[in-house]
Structure 1
Amino acid sequence: MVDSARTVEAVESWGFAGDAVAVSADVVAEALRARIADGKLESLLESSTGRVLFVVSNAERAMVMLLEHPGDPGEHATDPGAEDWSDGFVLSNGQADEYPDADTVPLDEALRIVRHILATGRPPADAAWVVDR
């Protein structure tokens, strides 16, 4: 029997968009924290298989979206029961967005989810996750 998570991990590598250097699950949280500290609140991680992991933060919460291919509505991390809205999600084009907290997660949870996706190819089983397809 083949473990599909191991298969994805073995054939899929990730890197920040525009950067030829691969980033591993072991260092991605540190790299994202450094980008956020530098004011780069939007990050795109591209997979060698064509998938894209989009992370935009306001330094307290983050939206984490996984897209299988261009044009895919994707899937994203959620915070069920959260009722507030948060602002300060600044995209690379300068646009500042506001999102319902239910569609974002605390930054530490976002980093845990991103690490797991890079390590296994999928979100953690215990993460709240919605498929938008």
Structure 2
Amino acid sequence: MIESWVIDDGSRAPVSSDTVREVLRARIAGGQHETWLASSFGRLVAFVTNNERAMMSLVNEEGDPGEHAVDPGAGGSSEGFVLSNGQHDEYPNKDTVPLEEAFRILSHILSEGSWPPDTSWMVDR
């Protein structure tokens, strides 16, 4: 069985690796900076952006600490990550990736089911 993904907001429309960038750009343009994607296998991807960088986590199931994309050489921190509940977060840049890189990583996860081989991530379990 092939894993399929949807935006975890009650939507049933599948999101593919080919369309995820446009779908998320439209959500961001509409003020939705936090997006959760749910897979048919029960896995979840959290994607939160401040329009420049993104915090991305991949979890096996609800409650799993999972793993997140990292940018090991990045210094400093960035703020402006607005969650759907209105909370404003700041993250160290090493725990986020540039927005375009996040789109590339997410597209790979949706098509291959795993992190791209050239991507750094940290296991949080």
For the aligned pair, the TM-score class normalised by the smaller chain equals: over 0.9
1:74 to 60, 66, 70: 66
Structure 1 residue 35, shift from structure 2 partner: 0.8
How does the TM-score come out when normalised to structure 1? Answer: 0.91
Partner of 2:96: 104
Partner of 1:113: 105
Aligned residues: 124
In the TM superposition, what whole-angstrom CA distance separates every residue of 1:49-83 from its partner, at most 9, and x where no partner exists? 10000000000000010000111110010000211
In the TM superposition, what whole-angstrom CA distance separates every residue of 1:70-107 from its partner, at most 9, and x where no partner exists? 11110010000211110000000000000000000000
Larger radius of gyration: 1
Q: Percent identity?
A: 58
Unpaired runs of at least 5, structure 1: 1-9
Q: Distance in 2 between matches of 1:37 and 1:79?
A: 25
* Runs of 4+ with deviation above 2 angstroms: none
Q: Distance in 2 between matches of 1:24 and 1:51?
A: 15
Q: Distance in 2 between matches of 1:84 and 1:37?
A: 26
Q: Distance in 2 between matches of 1:115 and 1:73?
A: 21
More helix by share: 1
Q: Distance in 2 between matches of 1:37 and 1:70?
A: 27
Verify: 1:92 aligned to 2:80, yes or no: no
Verify: 1:14 aligned to 2:24, yes or no: no
How does the TM-score come out when normalised to structure 2? Answer: 0.97
Unpaired runs of at least 5, structure 2: none
Q: Distance in 1 between matches of 2:6 and 2:68?
A: 19
